[in-house]
Amino acid sequence: MPPVRSGESLIRVTAIGLCGSDLHWYGEGQIGDSGMSRPLVLGHEFAGVVEGGPLDGVRVAVDPAVPCEECSICRDGNHNLCPNVIFAGHGTQDGALREFISWPTHLLHELPDSIDDVGGAVLEALGVALHAMNLAHMRPGSTVAVVGTGPLGLLVVQAARAAGAGRIIAVDPIDVRCTAAIACGADDSITPDQARNGGIRELAGDWGVDVAFEVAGNDDAVGIALDAVRPGGRVLMVGIPDDDRVAFSAATARRKGLTLVFVRRMQDLYDRAIRLVTRGAIDLDAVVSHHFELANADEAFKFASTRQALKVIVHP
């Protein structure tokens, strides 16, 4: 049993979602410029039930980020950029792929009856999608491209639809994800080959889309996003590349006068995410495809690494 310090609650973990960043840790032993100094328990998308204390028996979704609240970055309101942040399943902080975890009580968010534990685990990814939407400055009726429709990309599609996008074009090479994108609210779903051959402009108009979200984490997706967006538009860099490098045509970005925005986790968005799900604006079940027991977590990671699934959930 983990120790429960002052200000913390003990949580019996019931559902953990495997994130693309978890797959970087699993496949590469690092993410970006962050490496491991010892074996690491992964898992930062999770929900559970509080055991003991004033919240005993309450089902909760858990914010995995613990900012220091003291640095100038935090004081400016950018908790997601805190250089001193403690993050579950990252660096030296063990995550939630276990039966019990203790975590600061103020970062627990009570789940309504309309959101089950699996949905509670997906709320963290939805928060990232909503943060990307905030940074996109998207206006109602805007045309949008989402390049990469894995689980996070599907949540971006839904968030864009909820925000009033006029047309959403999804791009992905995998059939099951193209089908899921349409089910999640995309108007069109095309392959990267079709996108490279002008498919997005044929659908959005000669100048391209207003906003493009790159959610695949590879140079091809970045190139498609930059080509898809109109002059003066915005490209949101949501994906995480395997080798911590991104290459793209500077001429395309410069001549179009594009704004490139990099998305880092999320700010305080759990309450908004819960409200959107509760009123039916977001369907969390639509991005989940497979379930594994904790004893089969290695199999779950290997399967998720094929990218042939949507969100993979592990259940202790």
- Tell me the pLDDT tens digit for each residue of 65-92: 999 999 999 999 999 999 999 999 998 8
Share above pLDDT 70 across residues of the chain, in percent, rounded to a whole number: 100
pLDDT at 2: 94
Burial 130-150 (b: 16+ CB within 10 A, else e): bbbbbbbebeeebbbbbbbbb
pLDDT at 78: 92
For domain 127-262, give the fold. Answer: Rossmann fold (3.40.50)
pLDDT at 32: 74
Dist CA 314 CA 293 (whole Å): 5
pLDDT at 34: 79
Mean pLDDT lowest among 135-139, 176-180, 247-251: 247-251
Q: What are the backbone angles phi and psi of residue 65, rounded to the nearest 5°?
A: -105, 130
Residue 61: pLDDT band (50, 70, 90) is very high
Q: What is the mean pLDDT of residues 184-210?
A: 93
pLDDT at 36: 81
Q: How far is residue 131 from each of residues 135, 137, 225, measured CA to CA in Å?
A: 6, 11, 18
Decide if pLDDT at 281 tops 80.
yes
Residue 117: pLDDT band (50, 70, 90) is very high
Decide if pLDDT at 265 tops 80.
yes
Q: What is the mean pLDDT of residues 195-211?
A: 91
Decide if pLDDT at 13 tops 80.
yes
Residue 38: pLDDT band (50, 70, 90) is confident
pLDDT at 95: 95
Cα torsion for 236, 133, 135, 178, to the nearest 10°? 0
Domain edges within the chain? 8-124+266-315, 127-262
Domains 8-124+266-315 and 127-262 equal at CATH topology level: no
Q: What is the mean pLDDT of residues 144-173?
A: 96
Decide if pLDDT at 311 tops 80.
yes
Residue 20: pLDDT band (50, 70, 90) is confident
Architecture of domain 8-124+266-315: Alpha-Beta Complex (3.90)
Residue 28: pLDDT band (50, 70, 90) is confident
Decide if pLDDT at 279 tops 80.
yes
134-158 tens-digit pLDDT: 999 999 999 999 999 999 999 999 9
Dist CA 233 CA 311 (whole Å): 30
pLDDT at 45: 96
pLDDT at 30: 77
pLDDT at 242: 75
* Single-letter residue type at 166: G
CB 167 within 8 A of CB 157: no
Against a cut of 0.75, is the pTM above it? yes
